Amino acid sequence: MPIIASSALPSTPAETDRATLLARIPDLATEIAKEAARRDLERELPHEAFRLFKEAGLGALRIPTTLGGPGGSVLDYIEMIMTIGAADSNVAHALRSHFNFTEALLLNPNGAVDRTQLARVLGGKLFGGAHTEQGTKRPGEVTTRLTKSGESYRLNGRKWYATGTAFADFASFSARNDEDQLVSVLLPVDRKGIAILDDWDGMGQRLTASGGVLLDDVEVLPHEISTRGLNTLVGRHTSTLRQLHLAASMAGAVRGALREGTEYVRRQARSAAHSAAETANADPFVQKILGEIAAGSFAVDMLIRESARALDRTVEAFAGDDPEALEAALVESALTTARTQIVASQLALAAATNVFELGGGSATSRHLNLDRHWRNIRTVLNHNPLLHKARVVGDYYINGTTTHLEEGKVF
């Protein structure tokens, strides 16, 4: 069934003061966390969470002050994603396309079309999109067609992994034009012929609306068409940023597991029959397990923060006039994020598994829905081939190979 896109939801212009925006995040996360376990059980898409996010003006966080925005850093943005992810990692994950779009915009803001999109971001609009497709021989192959029709064009196809598009106002889609060139179109999601489907059937991240989009004879105007390039300098930077966003969503899920595991012990867990402790919260083994979960969450957070700082250094290099320094920063940030994902994935999965060691059968209650944290983490990690990532890092250390670190793709 098609779902209603959030372009009908009200939004307010973003505040331009960074401190004001950052101060709103904890209260927003508290609201998003309410009923998060129930939403997952009942597959209730978090439209209200995105309405609140838009009202808070946080979609413009990364826009620099020179462009009329609050000037938030990559680290500010990634910290926000981790905080929101602790409340509901579905919401955190579903913001990925929007911040990928705004990052490219702030690094290349000079065209008339870009200025229009910048005004939309500052006005509170959210951006989504879908570029991949099912049924192709290789990932990245595109069969969606953009054909000339009079003074405009027509778009036809079916896209997949439309994460966040159900909550967005605008979305980008890749297609092949009449010359078989790869192009991208940016359209309002309420354009006639666009149907966003809630048909994602993954075991985790159930509320990201990561399934399909039907594009049925959608009208596209000439100014809505642009070329695509992953291996551009900006494309390489945003590719690394997209990967770090996923890792930050995962880190949020670990925080969520820690918080809910602690609440479970305090509220209802019982000590084991053979325990010397009268209560679970006095059981040294329960304390040990919770301490290990807390340490794992701390380590994941620290790794991700270091990667965010590396990406901030890359943004600084974009502002300079030293091509060699920019190239070095791009490789270093890609390498740092890859190393972070390899280690953080192991820590995150272990933490989400160990939550069930805090109690007995009651820890597996569907009402608690503690397993969603493991399912969400495992699903997020399947977006990146970690075995290949480790091989790429090893090849770099042994042979200095940077091929996959330079190509702007998920490796």
Q: What is the pLDDT of residues 235-272, one digit of tens each?
A: 999 999 999 999 999 999 999 999 999 999 999 888 77
Q: Where are the domains of the chain?
A: 6-126, 145-227, 233-406
42 DSSP β-pair partners = none
Residue 134, classed as helix, strand or coil, is coil
Residue 303: count of CB within 10 angstroms of its CB: 21
pLDDT value, residue 3:
47
**DSSP at 179:** T
Residue linked to tokens 């309410």: 34
Q: How far is CA 67 from the centre of its chain?
A: 24
Q: What is the mean pLDDT of the chain?
A: 92
pLDDT value, residue 2:
46
Query: How far apart, in whole angstroms, are the C-alpha atoms of residue 110 and residue 151?
Result: 26
- Across the range 99-114, mean pLDDT stands at 83
146 DSSP β-pair partners = 155
Asked if residue 67 has pLDDT above 60, the reply is yes
Assign 113 a pLDDT band (cuts: 50, 70, 90): low
Query: How far apart, in whole angstroms, are the C-alpha atoms of residue 271 and residue 275?
Result: 6
Residue 197, classed as helix, strand or coil, is strand
The 10s digit of each residue's pLDDT in 337-372 is: 999 999 999 999 999 999 999 988 899 999 999 999
**DSSP at 121:** H
**CATH 1.10.287.80 applies to domain 233-406:** no
Which structure tokens are listed for 177?
A: 């034009």
pLDDT value, residue 231:
79
pLDDT value, residue 112:
58
pLDDT value, residue 276:
77
Query: How far apart, in whole angstroms, are the C-alpha atoms of residue 180 and residue 351?
Result: 47
For 145-227, CATH number out of 2.40.110.10, 1.50.10.10, 3.30.460.80, 3.30.465.10 equals 2.40.110.10
Are the folds of 145-227 and 233-406 the same? no
Assign 325 a pLDDT band (cuts: 50, 70, 90): very high
Q: Among the listed ranges 60-74, 93-107, 197-211, 262-276, which one has the minimum average pLDDT value?
A: 262-276
Q: Nearest Cα to 200, choosing from 192, 191, 213, 209?
A: 209
The strand pair at 182-188 and 194-196 is best described as: unpaired
DSSP readout, 296-346? HHHHHHHHHHHHHHHHHHHHHHHHSS-HHHHHHHHHHHHHHHHHHHHHHHH
Q: Which residues of 339-353 are buried (b: 16+ CB within 10 A; e: fewer)?
A: bbbbebbebbbebbb
Assign 11 a pLDDT band (cuts: 50, 70, 90): very low
**CATH 1.10.540.10 applies to domain 6-126:** yes
Task: Write the burial class of residue 138 (CB in 10 Å: 0-12 exposed, 13-18 middle, 19+ buried).
Answer: exposed
Q: Nearest Cα to 48, choosing from 27, 31, 30?
A: 31
